[in-house]
Structure 1
Amino acid sequence: MDINTQQKVFLVHWTYSAEEWKKFRRWGYFRRGIWKHFAWRLLRLKMKHIPEISITTYKVWIGDRVRPFRDDQRRLRRVNIRDTGRFNIMEITYERANSASRRLPVIYVPIPKGKLREAIEVHEALSSYAW
């Protein structure tokens, strides 16, 4: 199988309830700091639709946004599954080539309720590609 075909093979495709997505967005704002939390509280951005997330061995699609983590410019470092208290989250950490930054980029993917077993399978599949 060539690389282009491998990039199109989905490991998982998840959809979320409105409540699950709201918890994830709120967690993201709290994680970034108090000012982001206040902005969230003031704006209360209403989502017109809840994005679906798809994961391959190379990229994560969050709605229409593509977040690559494994290609010529990026190397997958590790994949973790964490319990935040209210929901589980998958952290995909990668390293950019030619980057002097000490801080590694992380893609956060919420795990839908009842999909933890699938998330563990994705974790095992991706961990085999980690450096």
Structure 2
Amino acid sequence: TSSAVRMTHIPTGIVVAMQDQRSQQQNRQKAMQILKSRVYDYYESQNQSEYDEQRKSAVGTGDRSERIRTYNYPQNRVTDHRIGLSLNKLDRIMNGELEEIIDALIVHDQAQKLEQIQSGEAKLF
């Protein structure tokens, strides 16, 4: 009919067609409501999947193989598996001298962030 309406959200490609009402104005309003709802759902699901992915990478699976740090008392060694750092200073580290580990973690984190920025994967804001 001449009162039918079809709307497309160009960035997402979501299409809504409406011909329930006799008036084109009413069909347009109803189509706009449905389109807004679908676009909102689309972006909400994208945000949720990004959040889930980030959380999964942060939390991990909980496997035993996902070790962060190993304390080997017989060899007086501490190994941080995330950055591949081994130090033969377990006694000092257990007494609170963590500066060397913290500095290495900061350098590693900064290198990862710089790499993400260079590859265009990082969100700046």
| Shorter-chain TM band | under 0.3
Which of the two has higher C-alpha Rg?
A: 2
TM-score (norm 2): 0.21
Q: Which has the higher contact order (CA 8 A, sep 6+)?
A: 1
